[in-house]
Chains A and B, each alone.
Chain A
Amino acid sequence: MALIRFQDLDPVRHLLALQQELERFQRNPGFNLGPSGYGAFPAVNLFEERDGMVVIAELPGVEPQSLNISSQGRSLTISGERRRENLTDSAGYHRRERPYGEFSRSIQLPETLDLANASASYTAGVLTVRIPKAETARPRQIAVQSQ
Protein backbone atom coordinates (compact mmCIF):
# COMPACT_ATOMS: atom_id res chain seq x y z
CA MET A 1 0.00 0.00 0.00
CA ALA A 2 1.42 3.35 -1.05
CA LEU A 3 0.63 5.48 1.94
CA ILE A 4 1.28 9.12 1.21
CA ARG A 5 3.72 10.30 3.81
CA PHE A 6 4.91 13.70 2.82
CA GLN A 7 4.57 15.94 5.78
CA ASP A 8 8.30 16.44 5.51
CA LEU A 9 8.11 17.65 1.94
CA ASP A 10 7.73 21.33 1.12
CA PRO A 11 4.28 22.33 -0.15
CA VAL A 12 5.32 22.43 -3.82
CA ARG A 13 6.82 18.94 -3.91
CA HIS A 14 4.00 17.76 -1.70
CA LEU A 15 1.41 18.79 -4.29
CA LEU A 16 3.44 17.26 -7.12
CA ALA A 17 3.69 13.93 -5.29
CA LEU A 18 -0.04 14.01 -4.59
CA GLN A 19 -0.87 14.69 -8.25
CA GLN A 20 1.26 11.73 -9.33
CA GLU A 21 -0.39 9.45 -6.77
CA LEU A 22 -3.88 10.53 -7.81
CA GLU A 23 -3.03 9.87 -11.45
CA ARG A 24 -1.77 6.38 -10.65
CA PHE A 25 -5.17 5.35 -9.31
CA GLN A 26 -7.25 7.14 -11.96
CA ARG A 27 -10.36 4.97 -12.50
CA ASN A 28 -8.56 2.03 -10.90
CA PRO A 29 -10.34 -1.02 -12.36
CA GLY A 30 -9.56 -2.97 -9.20
CA PHE A 31 -12.09 -0.92 -7.31
CA ASN A 32 -15.75 -0.93 -8.22
CA LEU A 33 -18.03 1.87 -7.03
CA GLY A 34 -21.10 0.34 -8.59
CA PRO A 35 -23.05 1.59 -11.60
CA SER A 36 -22.33 5.18 -12.55
CA GLY A 37 -21.80 6.66 -15.96
CA TYR A 38 -18.78 8.64 -16.98
CA GLY A 39 -19.22 12.23 -15.90
CA ALA A 40 -21.30 11.34 -12.83
CA PHE A 41 -21.51 14.32 -10.50
CA PRO A 42 -19.86 14.81 -8.17
CA ALA A 43 -16.58 13.20 -9.18
CA VAL A 44 -15.19 11.34 -6.17
CA ASN A 45 -11.79 10.23 -4.98
CA LEU A 46 -11.47 7.31 -2.60
CA PHE A 47 -8.68 6.90 -0.08
CA GLU A 48 -7.66 4.46 2.59
CA GLU A 49 -6.50 5.60 5.95
CA ARG A 50 -5.50 3.66 9.02
CA ASP A 51 -8.95 3.41 10.56
CA GLY A 52 -11.15 3.34 7.48
CA MET A 53 -11.84 4.97 4.15
CA VAL A 54 -12.28 8.57 3.07
CA VAL A 55 -14.46 9.78 0.20
CA ILE A 56 -13.60 13.25 -1.10
CA ALA A 57 -15.72 15.14 -3.64
CA GLU A 58 -15.48 18.63 -5.11
CA LEU A 59 -18.78 20.47 -4.78
CA PRO A 60 -18.04 24.17 -5.13
CA GLY A 61 -20.92 26.57 -4.72
CA VAL A 62 -23.26 24.18 -2.95
CA GLU A 63 -24.81 25.62 0.18
CA PRO A 64 -24.11 23.23 3.08
CA GLN A 65 -27.81 23.09 3.99
CA SER A 66 -28.72 21.85 0.50
CA LEU A 67 -26.25 18.97 0.73
CA ASN A 68 -27.60 15.54 1.71
CA ILE A 69 -25.44 12.59 2.67
CA SER A 70 -27.15 9.31 3.41
CA SER A 71 -26.29 5.65 3.60
CA GLN A 72 -28.12 2.40 3.19
CA GLY A 73 -26.43 -0.97 3.41
CA ARG A 74 -23.13 -0.61 1.55
CA SER A 75 -24.27 2.38 -0.43
CA LEU A 76 -23.37 6.01 0.24
CA THR A 77 -25.47 8.69 -1.48
CA ILE A 78 -24.44 12.30 -2.02
CA SER A 79 -27.22 14.56 -3.30
CA GLY A 80 -28.12 18.21 -3.38
CA GLU A 81 -28.58 21.16 -5.60
CA ARG A 82 -26.30 23.79 -6.96
CA ARG A 83 -28.12 27.03 -7.64
CA ARG A 84 -27.16 29.73 -10.06
CA GLU A 85 -26.52 33.19 -8.67
CA ASN A 86 -29.32 35.70 -8.89
CA LEU A 87 -28.65 38.49 -11.29
CA THR A 88 -30.15 41.93 -11.40
CA ASP A 89 -32.53 42.55 -14.29
CA SER A 90 -30.16 44.71 -16.27
CA ALA A 91 -27.33 42.14 -16.23
CA GLY A 92 -26.42 39.80 -19.05
CA TYR A 93 -24.00 36.89 -19.18
CA HIS A 94 -20.73 36.99 -21.08
CA ARG A 95 -19.74 33.49 -20.00
CA ARG A 96 -21.63 30.72 -18.32
CA GLU A 97 -19.40 27.69 -17.86
CA ARG A 98 -20.33 26.61 -14.34
CA PRO A 99 -22.85 23.76 -14.21
CA TYR A 100 -25.86 24.06 -11.98
CA GLY A 101 -28.90 21.97 -11.11
CA GLU A 102 -29.71 18.96 -8.98
CA PHE A 103 -27.42 16.01 -8.45
CA SER A 104 -27.48 12.64 -6.78
CA ARG A 105 -24.84 9.95 -6.81
CA SER A 106 -24.59 6.64 -4.98
CA ILE A 107 -21.39 4.68 -4.58
CA GLN A 108 -20.87 1.17 -3.26
CA LEU A 109 -18.34 0.75 -0.47
CA PRO A 110 -16.72 -2.41 0.88
CA GLU A 111 -18.71 -4.39 3.42
CA THR A 112 -15.87 -4.08 5.89
CA LEU A 113 -16.85 -0.45 6.59
CA ASP A 114 -19.19 0.82 9.25
CA LEU A 115 -21.35 3.32 7.30
CA ALA A 116 -23.60 3.87 10.32
CA ASN A 117 -20.69 5.68 11.97
CA ALA A 118 -19.63 7.80 8.98
CA SER A 119 -18.96 11.51 9.49
CA ALA A 120 -18.98 14.29 6.89
CA SER A 121 -17.49 17.76 6.66
CA TYR A 122 -17.68 20.44 3.96
CA THR A 123 -14.93 23.06 3.69
CA ALA A 124 -14.05 25.43 0.82
CA GLY A 125 -16.38 23.54 -1.51
CA VAL A 126 -14.84 20.15 -0.74
CA LEU A 127 -16.86 17.37 0.87
CA THR A 128 -15.03 14.82 2.99
CA VAL A 129 -16.79 11.70 4.27
CA ARG A 130 -14.87 9.49 6.68
CA ILE A 131 -16.09 5.95 7.18
CA PRO A 132 -14.50 3.86 9.93
CA LYS A 133 -13.77 0.17 9.57
CA ALA A 134 -16.37 -2.11 11.01
CA GLU A 135 -15.49 -3.56 14.39
CA THR A 136 -15.35 -7.05 12.87
CA ALA A 137 -12.87 -5.87 10.23
CA ARG A 138 -10.33 -4.55 12.73
CA PRO A 139 -7.36 -6.71 13.60
CA ARG A 140 -7.95 -8.63 16.75
CA GLN A 141 -5.72 -10.60 19.02
CA ILE A 142 -7.13 -13.98 19.84
CA ALA A 143 -6.13 -15.33 23.18
CA VAL A 144 -4.87 -18.90 23.24
CA GLN A 145 -6.34 -20.88 26.05
CA SER A 146 -4.16 -23.43 27.69
CA GLN A 147 -5.55 -26.41 29.47
Chain B
Amino acid sequence: MYAKKNLQNNITFIFLFILAILFLVPIFIVLMNSFKGRFFISDAPFALPNSQTFVGLKNYTVGLAKTGFIQAFFYSLFITVFSVGTIVLFTSMTAWCITRVKSKVSSIIYYVLIFSMIVPFQMVMFTMSKAANVLRLDNPIGIIVLYLGFGAGLSVFIFSGFVKSIPHEIEEAATIDGCNPIQTFFLIVFPILQPIYITVAILNTMWIWNDYLLPYLVIGSNYRTIPIAIQYLQGGYGSKDMGAMMAMLVLAIIPIVIFYLALQKYIIQGVVAGAVKG
Protein backbone atom coordinates (compact mmCIF):
# COMPACT_ATOMS: atom_id res chain seq x y z
CA MET B 1 0.00 0.00 0.00
CA TYR B 2 2.69 2.42 1.02
CA ALA B 3 4.93 1.47 -1.88
CA LYS B 4 2.07 1.92 -4.32
CA LYS B 5 1.32 5.38 -2.97
CA ASN B 6 4.98 6.28 -3.22
CA LEU B 7 5.16 5.21 -6.85
CA GLN B 8 2.02 7.17 -7.62
CA ASN B 9 3.51 10.26 -6.00
CA ASN B 10 6.71 9.90 -7.97
CA ILE B 11 4.82 9.65 -11.23
CA THR B 12 2.78 12.73 -10.32
CA PHE B 13 5.97 14.58 -9.44
CA ILE B 14 7.64 13.75 -12.74
CA PHE B 15 4.50 14.73 -14.64
CA LEU B 16 4.29 18.08 -12.85
CA PHE B 17 8.01 18.62 -13.35
CA ILE B 18 7.72 18.16 -17.12
CA LEU B 19 4.67 20.40 -17.21
CA ALA B 20 6.52 23.10 -15.26
CA ILE B 21 9.34 23.00 -17.80
CA LEU B 22 6.80 23.31 -20.62
CA PHE B 23 5.38 26.36 -18.87
CA LEU B 24 8.78 28.01 -18.65
CA VAL B 25 10.22 27.03 -22.03
CA PRO B 26 8.50 29.80 -24.06
CA ILE B 27 10.18 32.45 -21.94
CA PHE B 28 13.59 30.81 -22.32
CA ILE B 29 13.17 30.56 -26.08
CA VAL B 30 12.52 34.30 -26.24
CA LEU B 31 15.53 34.97 -24.00
CA MET B 32 17.73 32.78 -26.18
CA ASN B 33 16.59 34.44 -29.39
CA SER B 34 17.19 37.90 -27.98
CA PHE B 35 20.93 37.21 -28.42
CA LYS B 36 20.64 36.10 -32.03
CA GLY B 37 20.91 38.25 -35.16
CA ARG B 38 17.57 39.56 -36.41
CA PHE B 39 17.56 37.38 -39.53
CA PHE B 40 18.30 34.15 -37.68
CA ILE B 41 15.23 34.20 -35.44
CA SER B 42 12.07 33.55 -37.47
CA ASP B 43 13.55 30.68 -39.48
CA ALA B 44 15.02 28.71 -36.59
CA PRO B 45 13.69 29.95 -33.26
CA PHE B 46 14.59 26.72 -31.47
CA ALA B 47 18.28 26.76 -32.48
CA LEU B 48 20.79 27.88 -29.88
CA PRO B 49 22.86 30.92 -30.78
CA ASN B 50 26.20 29.97 -32.37
CA SER B 51 29.25 31.93 -33.43
CA GLN B 52 27.52 32.94 -36.65
CA THR B 53 24.21 34.01 -35.14
CA PHE B 54 25.27 35.41 -31.76
CA VAL B 55 25.16 39.22 -31.67
CA GLY B 56 25.64 39.93 -27.97
CA LEU B 57 23.57 42.82 -26.70
CA LYS B 58 23.05 44.45 -30.09
CA ASN B 59 19.30 43.66 -30.15
CA TYR B 60 18.94 45.33 -26.79
CA THR B 61 20.69 48.55 -27.80
CA VAL B 62 18.81 48.73 -31.10
CA GLY B 63 15.49 47.93 -29.42
CA LEU B 64 15.97 50.48 -26.66
CA ALA B 65 16.73 53.18 -29.22
CA LYS B 66 13.81 52.26 -31.49
CA THR B 67 11.10 52.03 -28.86
CA GLY B 68 12.22 54.46 -26.16
CA PHE B 69 11.74 51.54 -23.82
CA ILE B 70 13.30 53.18 -20.77
CA GLN B 71 10.94 56.10 -21.04
CA ALA B 72 8.06 53.67 -21.59
CA PHE B 73 9.05 51.82 -18.44
CA PHE B 74 8.82 55.01 -16.40
CA TYR B 75 5.49 56.01 -17.95
CA SER B 76 4.12 52.56 -17.13
CA LEU B 77 5.50 52.75 -13.61
CA PHE B 78 4.15 56.26 -12.99
CA ILE B 79 0.69 55.51 -14.37
CA THR B 80 0.39 52.18 -12.55
CA VAL B 81 1.57 53.40 -9.15
CA PHE B 82 -0.53 56.54 -9.06
CA SER B 83 -3.62 54.99 -10.60
CA VAL B 84 -3.55 52.09 -8.15
CA GLY B 85 -3.01 54.46 -5.22
CA THR B 86 -5.91 56.64 -6.34
CA ILE B 87 -8.18 53.65 -6.94
CA VAL B 88 -7.65 52.01 -3.55
CA LEU B 89 -8.09 55.28 -1.65
CA PHE B 90 -11.24 56.53 -3.34
CA THR B 91 -13.00 53.24 -4.02
CA SER B 92 -12.56 52.08 -0.41
CA MET B 93 -14.13 55.34 0.77
CA THR B 94 -17.02 54.90 -1.65
CA ALA B 95 -17.49 51.23 -0.79
CA TRP B 96 -17.60 51.88 2.95
CA CYS B 97 -20.01 54.78 2.58
CA ILE B 98 -22.53 53.03 0.29
CA THR B 99 -22.40 49.82 2.33
CA ARG B 100 -23.04 51.59 5.63
CA VAL B 101 -25.57 54.17 4.48
CA LYS B 102 -28.54 52.17 3.30
CA SER B 103 -30.40 54.40 0.88
CA LYS B 104 -31.73 54.41 -2.65
CA VAL B 105 -28.74 56.43 -3.86
CA SER B 106 -26.35 53.91 -2.32
CA SER B 107 -27.93 50.94 -4.03
CA ILE B 108 -28.11 52.77 -7.37
CA ILE B 109 -24.37 53.55 -7.10
CA TYR B 110 -23.62 49.93 -6.22
CA TYR B 111 -25.58 48.38 -9.07
CA VAL B 112 -24.37 50.85 -11.70
CA LEU B 113 -20.78 50.11 -10.69
CA ILE B 114 -21.37 46.35 -10.82
CA PHE B 115 -22.94 46.70 -14.25
CA SER B 116 -19.84 48.49 -15.55
CA MET B 117 -17.78 45.37 -14.80
CA ILE B 118 -19.62 43.37 -17.44
CA VAL B 119 -19.49 45.96 -20.22
CA PRO B 120 -16.68 45.37 -22.73
CA PHE B 121 -14.23 48.22 -23.21
CA GLN B 122 -15.08 48.49 -26.93
CA MET B 123 -18.50 49.84 -25.98
CA VAL B 124 -17.01 53.06 -24.64
CA MET B 125 -13.57 53.22 -26.24
CA PHE B 126 -14.46 55.82 -28.86
CA THR B 127 -16.63 58.10 -26.75
CA MET B 128 -14.33 57.79 -23.73
CA SER B 129 -11.21 58.74 -25.66
CA LYS B 130 -13.07 61.73 -27.14
CA ALA B 131 -14.20 62.78 -23.66
CA ALA B 132 -10.63 62.42 -22.39
CA ASN B 133 -9.49 64.60 -25.25
CA VAL B 134 -12.01 67.35 -24.57
CA LEU B 135 -11.31 67.34 -20.83
CA ARG B 136 -7.53 67.35 -21.38
CA LEU B 137 -7.10 64.02 -19.64
CA ASP B 138 -4.94 62.76 -22.50
CA ASN B 139 -1.69 62.73 -20.53
CA PRO B 140 -0.10 60.44 -17.92
CA ILE B 141 -1.74 62.38 -15.08
CA GLY B 142 -5.20 62.67 -16.60
CA ILE B 143 -5.30 58.97 -17.43
CA ILE B 144 -5.34 58.29 -13.67
CA VAL B 145 -8.89 59.69 -13.58
CA LEU B 146 -9.92 57.27 -16.34
CA TYR B 147 -8.41 54.31 -14.50
CA LEU B 148 -10.25 55.35 -11.34
CA GLY B 149 -13.49 55.38 -13.33
CA PHE B 150 -12.88 52.01 -14.95
CA GLY B 151 -11.40 50.35 -11.86
CA ALA B 152 -14.27 51.52 -9.65
CA GLY B 153 -16.58 48.58 -10.43
CA LEU B 154 -14.39 45.69 -9.36
CA SER B 155 -12.70 47.57 -6.52
CA VAL B 156 -15.89 48.86 -4.90
CA PHE B 157 -17.37 45.39 -5.29
CA ILE B 158 -14.49 43.73 -3.43
CA PHE B 159 -14.26 46.40 -0.71
CA SER B 160 -18.03 46.28 -0.14
CA GLY B 161 -17.89 42.54 0.37
CA PHE B 162 -15.37 42.96 3.15
CA VAL B 163 -16.97 46.01 4.76
CA LYS B 164 -20.13 43.94 5.22
CA SER B 165 -18.15 41.48 7.33
CA ILE B 166 -16.86 44.14 9.76
CA PRO B 167 -19.18 44.52 12.78
CA HIS B 168 -20.43 48.10 12.81
CA GLU B 169 -20.49 48.34 16.60
CA ILE B 170 -16.86 49.47 16.48
CA GLU B 171 -17.75 52.36 14.20
CA GLU B 172 -20.80 53.26 16.30
CA ALA B 173 -18.60 53.44 19.38
CA ALA B 174 -16.31 55.82 17.50
CA THR B 175 -19.27 57.99 16.53
CA ILE B 176 -20.46 58.15 20.13
CA ASP B 177 -16.95 59.17 21.16
CA GLY B 178 -17.34 62.15 18.84
CA CYS B 179 -15.69 61.02 15.61
CA ASN B 180 -17.15 62.43 12.42
CA PRO B 181 -17.46 60.01 9.46
CA ILE B 182 -14.10 61.07 8.00
CA GLN B 183 -12.31 60.38 11.29
CA THR B 184 -14.20 57.12 11.72
CA PHE B 185 -13.15 55.97 8.28
CA PHE B 186 -9.48 56.86 8.48
CA LEU B 187 -8.90 56.00 12.15
CA ILE B 188 -11.09 52.90 12.52
CA VAL B 189 -12.10 51.37 9.18
CA PHE B 190 -8.93 52.03 7.19
CA PRO B 191 -6.66 49.96 9.49
CA ILE B 192 -9.16 47.07 9.59
CA LEU B 193 -9.32 46.96 5.78
CA GLN B 194 -5.53 46.80 5.36
CA PRO B 195 -5.35 43.23 3.93
CA ILE B 196 -8.06 44.06 1.40
CA TYR B 197 -6.07 47.08 0.24
CA ILE B 198 -3.32 44.68 -0.77
CA THR B 199 -5.79 42.48 -2.66
CA VAL B 200 -7.36 45.36 -4.55
CA ALA B 201 -3.98 46.98 -5.23
CA ILE B 202 -2.56 43.77 -6.69
CA LEU B 203 -5.55 43.04 -8.93
CA ASN B 204 -5.45 46.60 -10.28
CA THR B 205 -1.67 46.57 -10.74
CA MET B 206 -1.88 43.41 -12.86
CA TRP B 207 -4.53 45.05 -15.02
CA ILE B 208 -3.09 48.56 -15.44
CA TRP B 209 0.54 47.55 -15.94
CA ASN B 210 -0.45 45.29 -18.84
CA ASP B 211 -3.27 47.38 -20.26
CA TYR B 212 -2.83 48.19 -23.92
CA LEU B 213 -5.92 49.59 -25.61
CA LEU B 214 -6.91 52.33 -23.16
CA PRO B 215 -3.49 54.05 -23.01
CA TYR B 216 -3.00 53.45 -26.74
CA LEU B 217 -6.20 55.33 -27.59
CA VAL B 218 -5.85 58.07 -25.00
CA ILE B 219 -2.14 58.89 -24.76
CA GLY B 220 -0.53 56.50 -27.26
CA SER B 221 0.54 59.10 -29.80
CA ASN B 222 2.58 61.10 -27.28
CA TYR B 223 3.39 58.74 -24.44
CA ARG B 224 4.21 55.05 -24.94
CA THR B 225 3.73 52.63 -22.09
CA ILE B 226 5.48 49.22 -22.28
CA PRO B 227 2.70 47.34 -24.13
CA ILE B 228 2.41 50.22 -26.61
CA ALA B 229 6.20 50.22 -27.14
CA ILE B 230 6.13 46.48 -27.88
CA GLN B 231 3.21 46.79 -30.28
CA TYR B 232 4.95 49.75 -31.95
CA LEU B 233 7.84 47.44 -32.90
CA GLN B 234 5.42 45.34 -34.91
CA GLY B 235 5.28 48.43 -37.11
CA GLY B 236 4.66 48.42 -40.84
CA TYR B 237 4.69 45.26 -42.92
CA GLY B 238 8.04 43.60 -43.57
CA SER B 239 10.07 46.09 -41.58
CA LYS B 240 9.73 44.20 -38.32
CA ASP B 241 13.01 43.80 -36.44
CA MET B 242 12.68 40.38 -34.78
CA GLY B 243 15.88 40.85 -32.80
CA ALA B 244 14.74 44.08 -31.20
CA MET B 245 11.34 42.49 -30.59
CA MET B 246 12.87 39.57 -28.67
CA ALA B 247 15.05 41.88 -26.60
CA MET B 248 12.14 44.14 -25.68
CA LEU B 249 9.96 41.15 -24.76
CA VAL B 250 12.69 40.08 -22.35
CA LEU B 251 12.89 43.57 -20.87
CA ALA B 252 9.10 43.63 -20.51
CA ILE B 253 9.10 40.31 -18.65
CA ILE B 254 11.95 41.06 -16.22
CA PRO B 255 10.11 43.64 -14.05
CA ILE B 256 7.08 41.33 -13.88
CA VAL B 257 9.18 38.38 -12.71
CA ILE B 258 10.91 40.50 -10.07
CA PHE B 259 7.56 41.87 -8.88
CA TYR B 260 6.12 38.38 -8.77
CA LEU B 261 8.98 36.71 -6.92
CA ALA B 262 9.15 39.52 -4.37
CA LEU B 263 5.42 39.64 -3.61
CA GLN B 264 4.37 36.13 -4.59
CA LYS B 265 2.60 35.32 -1.35
CA TYR B 266 0.51 38.49 -1.46
CA ILE B 267 -0.27 38.14 -5.16
CA ILE B 268 -1.65 34.62 -4.83
CA GLN B 269 -3.55 35.51 -1.65
CA GLY B 270 -4.87 38.62 -3.37
CA VAL B 271 -6.14 36.68 -6.36
CA VAL B 272 -7.87 34.15 -4.11
CA ALA B 273 -9.38 36.77 -1.82
CA GLY B 274 -10.60 38.78 -4.80
CA ALA B 275 -12.20 35.70 -6.34
CA VAL B 276 -13.83 34.43 -3.16
CA LYS B 277 -15.59 37.73 -2.57
CA GLY B 278 -16.62 37.88 -6.21
* B is bound to A: no
